[in-house]
Chains A and B, each alone.
Chain A
Amino acid sequence: MSKFRQNKSKEMPGVSTASLPDIVFTVLAFFVVVSSMKQSDLKVEVTKPSGKEIIQLDKNEAIDYINAGIPKNTAFGTTARLQLDDKVVPDFLEIREFIELKRRPRTPLANDKATVSIKADKDDVDMDIIDKIENELREVEALRINYSTQKESKGNN
C-alpha cells in the first residue's frame, strides 16, 4: 500500500501532444482516399468522350448523374446499362423515379437550376440509349442536361 501512496504525491506528467498532428494527418489521408474512391465507384465501364469546348458546371447548382456503359459485373449483362446512384438498372423508366427522388429535398428554385449530367461511354453507348434517357428526362421536365466530357489534350487531334 505504501508504494501507491508515494506515487500519488508526485505530479501527473502532461499528455504529450506531439503525435496529434500525425493522427490528424492520418485522418486527412483517409478522407482523401475515400473521396477519390467514391468517384471510381462506377459499376459500369465509362470512358468519357473528349472535347475542346467544354464548360465547367457551376458547383453551386445541383447536379445529378446518370451513368451509362457496359456493366463491370457481367451478372448485370454484357450490353450497355444505366447506373443511377449505386444501382445498375435495366429499365429506362427508373430515371423518372430517380429524378423525383433527387428533387424531393431541394427547393423548387434549386430544382429549376439543377442539371442532369450524362456520363456515357463513347464507344459502347449508342444514340438510341441517349435518346431514351433524354425522352425520360423530358417526361419529368429535367431539361437542363450536360454531356460529361473530358478535356481534350492540345494537339491530340
Chain B
Amino acid sequence: MARRKLQEVDASSIADIAFILLAFIIIATTLEKESGLPAVLPQKTENNIDKPEVNERNILEVLVNKDDQLMIEGQWGKGLDDIGDFVKEFMTNPTDSESLPRMDEITESDCNQKLAILKANLEAAPLKDKGVIQKDMDKWLEKREAVKLVGSYRTVNKAATIAIQYDKSTTYGTYLNVRDKIMTGLNELRDELALRKFGISYGSLESIRAEVKTEEDKAKIKAIRQVYPQKIIKLPAKNVQ
C-alpha cells in the first residue's frame, strides 16, 4: 500500500466564519427592537360597586368623540397641542387653584415620621394586615429616596388622575396621539426637573442603554417619577357625540 501524507485542514477561515456569525447576531438583535408607549392595565375587579367618590378637581378629563374631536376639561375645540399645557398645569397647580388638584409637600422629616408610625403599626398589626402596611411602607421608602435625591418636593396628591374618555368608534391612532401628548407634557416637566437637579434631561437619563445604566441613574429616574407620576386611566367607553 502506498503511504499518503494527510493534508491538514486550513483553519484560517474559521475566524472569518466566527466574525460573520457575530455580525449576524448583532444585526438580528438590533432589528427587532420594540418600542412604544408602555402602560399598566388596572387589576381586574370582581364588581364595580366600590367606585370611590372622586373630587372633580382631581381629574383632568380628556375626551375624544367618535369623530376624533377633542374636549379638555369641558372645553370643546381643543387641539392635540393644547393637551401638554393642560397636563403641566394639572400636575403642578402653580397658583394653588381650587379647581386643580391639591398639592402635597414631601419633606424628609415627613417621610421619617410616617415611616416610624408605620413601623410601630407593623409590629402591632395582626398577620393579615401586615401586607398592606408593608406596601405603604415601601411607598414612603420610595418617597424618602426621592427626597434624598431631589430635595423636598411638591407633588400632586395621590388621587389626581388624568382620564381619557373615548367613544367606541374613536380610532386607535387618535387615542394614541392623545396619550402621546399627555406624555409630552409630563416629560417636559420631568426634563425640567432633571436638568435642574442632575444637569441631564429625563429623556437622556431614560435612553441610557440598559447595559450601561447604573443604579444611580435608575434611582434618579425613580425619583423624578415620584415627583411627576404617570397616572393615566382609560375610562370605559361610552357614547360621546
Chain A residues with a Cβ under 8 A of chain B: 8-9, 11-12, 14-15, 17, 20-21, 24-25, 27-28, 31-32, 35-36, 39, 49, 51-60, 63, 115, 117, 120-123, 125-131, 134, 137-139, 141-151
Contact = CB atoms under 8 A, between A and B. Distances in A.
A45 B53 CA distance: 42
A59 B33 contact: yes
Contacts of A123: 171-173
Nearest to B34: A57
A21 B16 CA distance: 7
Contacts of B44: 138-139, 141
Interface in B1-45: 2, 4-5, 7, 9-10, 12-13, 16-17, 20, 23-24, 27-29, 31-44
Nearest to A9: B2
A15 B35 contact: no
A51 B82 CA distance: 16
Interface residues of B, number: 52
A60 B210 contact: yes
Contacts of A117: 34, 36
B183 A53 contact: yes
A53 B2 contact: no
Given A122-B176, A127-B167, A150-B35, 13 more contacts: A20-B16, A35-B28, A49-B173, A51-B37, A52-B183, A55-B35, A55-B36, A55-B37, A56-B34, A56-B35, A138-B43, A146-B39, A147-B176
Q: Is the interface of A mostly helix, strand, loop or mixed?
A: mixed
A51 B206 contact: no
Given A14-B10, A57-B38, A123-B173, A51 B33 contact: no
A21 B13 contact: yes
Interface of B: 2, 4-5, 7, 9-10, 12-13, 16-17, 20, 23-24, 27-29, 31-44, 166-173, 175-177, 179-180, 183-184, 187, 206-207, 210, 234, 236-237
A11 B5 contact: yes
Contacts of B38: 55, 57, 115, 144-147
B172 to A, nearest CB: 4
A54 B10 CA distance: 50
Contacts of B39: 145-147
Contacts of A148: 34-36
Contacts of A115: 38
Contacts of B179: 51, 147
Contacts of B42: 138, 143
A49 B27 contact: no
A126 B12 contact: no
A149 to B, nearest CB: 4
21 contacts: A15-B9, A24-B17, A39-B31, A49-B172, A51-B37, A51-B183, A54-B180, A56-B33, A57-B36, A57-B38, A123-B173, A127-B237, A128-B168, A138-B44, A141-B44, A145-B38, A145-B41, A146-B36, A146-B37, A146-B38, A151-B35
